[in-house]
Amino acid sequence: TAFLSSMSHELRTPLHSISGFLELLFEDPESEDLNERQRRFLGNIASSTQHLIRVVNDVLDLSRISAGRLRLNLEQFDLHGVAEAVVTSLLPIARDQDVDLTLLQTAHPSLIADPERIRQILTNLVSNAIKYTPAGGRVTVMLGQAEERIFAEVEDTGIGICEEDLERIFGEFEQVHHPTFRPKLRGSGLGLAITRKLVEMQGGRIEVESAPGKGSRFRISFPVEPRTSPDAAPPEE
């Protein structure tokens, strides 16, 4: 874990430099002279760089969590506010993929957890929902409180997951390859593993229901009274 953590840090610096120089190249007026083929090659370098940055960030996160070095800053907050911020930040990606993304204005449950980590969890779930929903589909986020638990659901009308893969998707580097659908953005296969650990560290649970070709519904829920897991590091002073 210490090795992974140092390696990820070492990789991040040059990767950000590659990404920064690519951006400069794209903005450079002289780049107009590039031909179609050169532009395509540059586009491929840029998307592979972004993919590598995502993988490195995910590896870093997972190694931090596994080493028990992730600090939780628990506080009481309005889950609706966090969900709204997540949905707003992902609207451009949803629009770009012609997916209708909505947060249902139903409830404003107040949760005691780490709002930054809840934002990360919801961002992972909503990004996945958008990623695995073909154009013309719908992603809906809903919040509520039932049976002493506060919950958030992310439902999509996407490609779905078959029964035998439902547990596997929470494993590290596990990706399900669909015969006809290729997501626009490649992931690391670590998103759901990180998400599940973050949920469980905060005393919550994550459940999924899905039907191939119809869509998926991921639900995270937390007891009204928080119980963080014993391996969560104490909150930062």
Looking at the DSSP bridge assignments, the partners of residue 153 are 142, 219
- Pull the structure tokens for residue 171: 């494993």
| Separation between Cα atoms, residue 63 and residue 220, nearest integer Å | 22
How far apart CA 62 and CA 235 sit, in angstroms, is 18
Q: How far is the CB of 34 from ligand ADP (least distance, A)?
A: 31
Helices 115-131 and 79-96, axial angle in degrees (round to 10) = 30
Question: Nearest 5°: phi and psi at 174?
Answer: -90, 125
Q: Which is nearer to ligand ADP, 112 or 195 (CB)?
A: 195
Residue nearest to ligand ADP (CB): 187
- Binding mask of the shown chain, residues 47 to 86, with x at each position contacting ligand ADP by CB under 6 A: ----------------------------------------
CB closer to ligand ADP out of 109 and 158:
158
What binding mask, one character per residue, do residues 195-224 give for ligand ADP by CB under 6 A, x or -?
Answer: ---------------------x--------
Closest CA to 192 of 132, 102, 104, 115: 132
**Residues 81-120: x where in contact with ligand ADP by CB under 6 A, - otherwise, as a string:** ----------------------------------------
Instruction: Measure the CA–CA gap between 159 and 210, rounded to whole angstroms.
Output: 9
Alpha helices by DSSP H, listed for 98-169, are 115-131
Binding mask 154-193 vs ligand ADP (x if CB under 6 A, - otherwise)? Answer: --x-xxxx-------x----xxx----------xxxxxxx
CA distance 13 to 32: 28
Q: Point out which residues bind ligand ADP (CB under 6 A).
A: 128-129, 132, 156, 158-161, 169, 174-176, 187-193, 216
